[in-house]
Structure 1
Amino acid sequence: MPWYRAGSVAVTNGSAIVTGAGTDFVGNTQAGEVFLGPDGRVYEISAVQSATQLTIIPNYQGASAGGQAYGIQPTASFARDLALGAAQLLNTFGTVRDGIGQGLVAGGTLTAPGLRGAGDQDTGIHWPGSNILELVVGGARRLALSSTGALVTGRVTGAAGTPGAVGVAAPTLGTAPDTTSLFITNGDALYGLISGVFGNTGATWMQAQRVDGGQSAYDLVVQPSGGNLLVGATSGSSHRIEKLGLAEGQVVLSVAAGAGSAITAEFRRVNASPFNGGMPAALMLGHNTTNNRSGTVSGTLNASGADYAEYMLKAAGCGIIAKGDVCGVDRDGKLTKTWADAISFVVKSTDPSLVGGDTWAAHLPPKPEGPGAEPIEPAAPLPPAEDADEAALAAWRDAMAAYPALLASYQSEHTTWQQAMDAYAADLAAWEDELETARQCVDRIAFCGQVPCNVAGDFEVGDYIIAAANGAGIKAVAVKPDGITLAQYMRRIGKVWAIRDGRAWIDVQHG
């Protein structure tokens, strides 16, 4: 082999260090070879530290000098060293021969599965323990098989077939619902489905619930022993539907004929216990367009209210009418609090059991609807691993090239959505203002039944309550039955049936 003479060296008398310039000692020499120094002597190379530095034995004996010519002579040990290196290589890769060479692969970890891609180190096959096989994608379990017969899919937080897993597992009869036959994941919330398993609610035929302890209520339970269907409820002795987190007026259950069909009925949350809660209604029903019916009842309808009322329009300037107050009706059929304008007299309802004429907001447009869900910003492509192959790099470059357009599209969509949200908020506020304005123009008037009445002066059971002038306004006064005149009787509002909490309760009569 030719000697190596590239570049020059600097040597120092009494020093073992040789410093090169323009040299590559690492790639062209090794320990044990001969260094021919600038002084004409030969030295043994004891070690190669870098491309520009090596050490010699003995220390340099000539005069110190720089930029000197030199020579390195290969020795006959090259073949021997090559053989030793080959033996070392065989010894190092013996595990490959005895392992992957025979089809044997280490279990690995979630972040580095035993069998994984060169350009995707956290995706592959993982063996977490005896008789369990898992497919890992992005450092997370996505599919697992176990010797118990469990097939687990999705995000898995526990061992295959155990509580906290996601997928299909073999159910165990006679156990609490921690052992389930089907697991389903929604983000980080894990849900389970039990079929034919005795749960802690009794003989449960089917039960869907959170299985990670994140929720106390079951999402769905069907109990064969009592024939009960429970939705969102932990237990019950009857069919029960619960919806958590709703505010007053929000819909609990909607009933429609099919996708996109108009809502036939809605059950809404009302802050009511018992059921006489007030607006918004707990049950809202549509009507049959042929016969105009909203409900047919063969039995008795029971209500906690005590009178039948109807909405009536107010005359201009009427203002607020208090519950139990007597007011007038003018020649246009509108409510008035002015004595001179009234031709008939009525009393404001307090607690109606039935209300008619509820069309006072029919002239308003439909309530505005929101623009839908907020657009989701696209995530920037994650850079590939350092040892990724060219295909992975090319895919990442393509994704990075497409990302600005996706981001720009998202920003445009989000701007449009935000504008729509702003417009919706303005439209909703305007609609609610119109609704309140319309509501202020009507009031509920009792037409029959029992109502409390605000009476001026003394009264007792059996007295007639009539309308009387109160300056320019209207008031209610009591008149004895044996002293009432025909004119007064024609202005009667009702007769006192009882006195409760100091107020006169009357049966509604209109003259």
Structure 2
Amino acid sequence: MSDVFIGDLPAAVSLADGDTLPLDQGTRTVKATVAQIRSIPPNGLSGDAIHGGTVTAFASTGIGDQATSRVLTLSAAGNAGIGTTASPIPLTVERADGSPFAAQILLRNPGVASNAAGIALQVSHPSEFTSYGPKAGVLLQRVAPNGLGAFKLYNRVSGDTQGYGTGDAFLTHNGWTGALAFTPTGGASVAGTRGEGQAILDILTGLTSTTTVCEVAGTGAGVSATAIRVQKNSVTGRSINAAGTVNATGLDYAEYMEKAADCGTIAKGQIAGVDADGRLTDRFDRAHSFVVKSTSPSYVGGDALTEDRLGPPPAEPVPISDEPESEAVERFADRHSAWVEELATWQARAEAERTRFDRIAFCGQVPVTVAGPWAVGDYVQAERVENGTPGGAIAAVAVPSDVLDEIGYRRAVGRIWRIAPDGRPVIVVKTV
């Protein structure tokens, strides 16, 4: 404590190297650099703007200097200021520095002995305080050896981007704005403005890119419920480039085909006809070709339920930043509830539209429902059945390959290769 003095001094006192200060037990010699804590009288220092019993810590910068450089201010209101003459809030940290990378606050818990570094900062309600063990908490590291921040937050509205560089990110919670945005309902977005085809998200292993998400301008992806929706590059028309295989558990390749207005329900593995308009029919006399409905597709093409056909789904609302907090929460809750109802209505309309289409297998393996006896190696063809339906119904029958004629071959939808676990014959779909 040889460089620190605590006490009440005259407002205009100057301290020089070698001066002595009165203490309870003897005196102390003043050194060239002295830190002092003073209780400033109401009249304050000469030319000073601090009044009313403020306690300030000063630092002198050399021999004989008056200690008037404030490093810590404690106001009568209970506010603390570091590097500032007044703090309008409980704590203000301020320092003018020409470097855009100057840190204002350093929080560090280096740990003790064999214990690893622990929590440097915890912000919580007192009732939620938790004692964590070693290695707990969030660790923000710099990128050695250049010392650049690995994670930076900016106030995007103010445009305060000094020191912003490659690898940094703007973040915001208010709507779908910023490079990385979070909504109150849990959604997140990564926004790119680098140009179509340029990477906006890159997942690395070391220096090797493993997964890259690129900016695209094309649209047209189906709007039905799904796990991932991917649009396309407006120039190449591509959505995904894969270095390896794309694996799926399905057994066939299928396409959506629209059903005729009077076509009934077509079950999986059931044979249907194709009429002169290219629509599915369950009437034998209207069909010029025959197909089988997919049971387990690995790929489905011809998804016509896009925004061009259905119109865009209702947009999720975002909070309005200039509203008072209480009003913003209430109004956003009302808007979000209305959006949930509108989205449910839109999805119901989309599913109703979906019933007009069926997935038809064009290649691969499909279990089918066959009327009558069958054996592995037989062909499965369509046959007219009289059941009172105008135009006749369509049934699937098996025909041995040695008795199959040309007309039967044209009606065949595939050849039986094996028996499915449920006992049905599995055919390999025959192309036209």
TM-score norm. by structure 2 comes to 0.54
Q: In the alignment, which residue of structure 2 is the partner of 1:294?
A: 239
Of the three residues 80, 84, 93, the one matched with 1:124 is: 80
Within 2, Cα distance between the matches of 1:283 and 1:374? 28
**1:496 lines up with 2:416 in the alignment:** yes
SS in structure 2 at match of 1:317? coil
**1:446 lines up with 2:355 in the alignment:** no
Q: Is the 8 A contact 1:461 1:498 kept in 2?
A: yes
SS in structure 1 at match of 2:342? helix
Within 1, Cα distance between the matches of 2:256 and 2:199? 25
**1:349 lines up with 2:294 in the alignment:** yes
Of the three residues 282, 286, 292, the one matched with 1:337 is: 282
State percent identity of aligned pairs: 32
Of the three residues 311, 315, 333, the one matched with 1:369 is: 315
* Aligned-pair CA distance for 1:308: 1.6
2:265 counterpart letter in structure 1: I
* Aligned-pair CA distance for 1:306: 2.3
2:381 counterpart letter in structure 1: I
Within 1, Cα distance between the matches of 2:112 and 2:93? 21
Within 2, Cα distance between the matches of 1:455 and 1:414? 60
Q: In the alignment, which residue of structure 2 is the partner of 1:194?
A: 141
Q: In the alignment, which residue of structure 1 is the partner of 2:17?
A: none
Within 2, Cα distance between the matches of 1:284 and 1:373? 25
Distance 1:142 1:453, change over 3 A: farther
1:318 counterpart letter in structure 2: C
Of the three residues 99, 118, 123, the one matched with 1:178 is: 118
Q: CA RMSD in A?
A: 5.3
Higher strand proportion (structure 1 or 2):
1
Distance 1:482 1:161, change over 3 A: closer
**1:508 lines up with 2:429 in the alignment:** yes
* Aligned-pair CA distance for 1:475: 2.2
**1:437 lines up with 2:352 in the alignment:** yes
Q: Please show how residues 52-71 of structure 1 align to structure 2 within 5 Å.
A: none
Within 1, Cα distance between the matches of 2:9 and 2:195? 55
SS in structure 1 at match of 2:366? strand
Within 2, Cα distance between the matches of 1:369 and 1:455? 47
After superposition, give the CA deviation of every residue in 1:452-507 in whole Å (9 maximum; x if it has no partner). 11222332210111112342332212111223333322211100011121121111
Of the three residues 398, 406, 412, the one matched with 1:486 is: 406
After superposition, give the CA deviation of every residue in 1:425-457 in whole Å (9 maximum; x if it has no partner). 453233212211221111110111211112223
After superposition, give the CA deviation of every residue in 1:102-129 in whole Å (9 maximum; x if it has no partner). 86458xxxxx9955434xx221359xxx
Of the three residues 339, 342, 345, the one matched with 1:427 is: 342
Q: Is the 8 A contact 2:256 2:300 kept in 1?
A: yes
Within 2, Cα distance between the matches of 1:496 and 1:372? 56
* Aligned-pair CA distance for 1:421: 4.4
After superposition, give the CA deviation of every residue in 1:268-311 in whole Å (9 maximum; x if it has no partner). 9xxxxxxxxxx855544332333433345576554433222111
Q: In the alignment, which residue of structure 1 is the partner of 2:384?
A: 469
Distance 1:476 1:374, change over 3 A: farther
Q: Please show how residues 88-237 of structure 1 align to structure 2 within 5 Å.
A: 99=8, 101=10, 104-105=37-38, 116-118=74-76, 121-124=77-80, 138=89, 140-141=90-91, 143=93, 153=105, 161-163=107-109, 176-178=116-118, 191-195=138-142
Q: In the alignment, which residue of structure 2 is the partner of 1:218?
A: none
* Aligned-pair CA distance for 1:151: 6.9
2:295 counterpart letter in structure 1: T
Of the three residues 278, 281, 303, the one matched with 1:358 is: 303
Within 2, Cα distance between the matches of 1:171 and 1:124? 28
Q: Is the 8 A contact 1:253 1:267 kept in 2?
A: no
Distance 1:353 1:179, change over 3 A: same
Within 1, Cα distance between the matches of 2:369 and 2:376? 14
Q: Is the 8 A contact 2:80 2:92 kept in 1?
A: no
Q: In the alignment, which residue of structure 2 is the partner of 1:456?
A: 371
Distance 1:305 1:185, change over 3 A: same
Distance 1:322 1:375, change over 3 A: farther
Distance 1:304 1:434, change over 3 A: same
Within 1, Cα distance between the matches of 2:311 and 2:420? 43
Higher helix proportion (structure 1 or 2):
1
Q: In the alignment, which residue of structure 2 is the partner of 1:327?
A: 272
Within 1, Cα distance between the matches of 2:243 and 2:141? 40
1:475 counterpart letter in structure 2: A
Within 2, Cα distance between the matches of 1:498 and 1:260? 48
Within 2, Cα distance between the matches of 1:332 and 1:374? 51
SS in structure 1 at match of 2:312? coil
SS in structure 1 at match of 2:139? strand
Q: Is the 8 A contact 1:252 1:267 kept in 2?
A: no
Within 2, Cα distance between the matches of 1:425 and 1:306? 36
Q: Is the 8 A contact 1:465 1:493 kept in 2?
A: yes
Q: Which has the higher contact order (CA 8 A, sep 6+)?
A: 2
Distance 1:418 1:329, change over 3 A: same
TM-score norm. by structure 1 comes to 0.46
* Aligned-pair CA distance for 1:376: 7.9
Q: Is the 8 A contact 1:463 1:495 kept in 2?
A: yes
Matched length: 301
Within 1, Cα distance between the matches of 2:313 and 2:371? 43
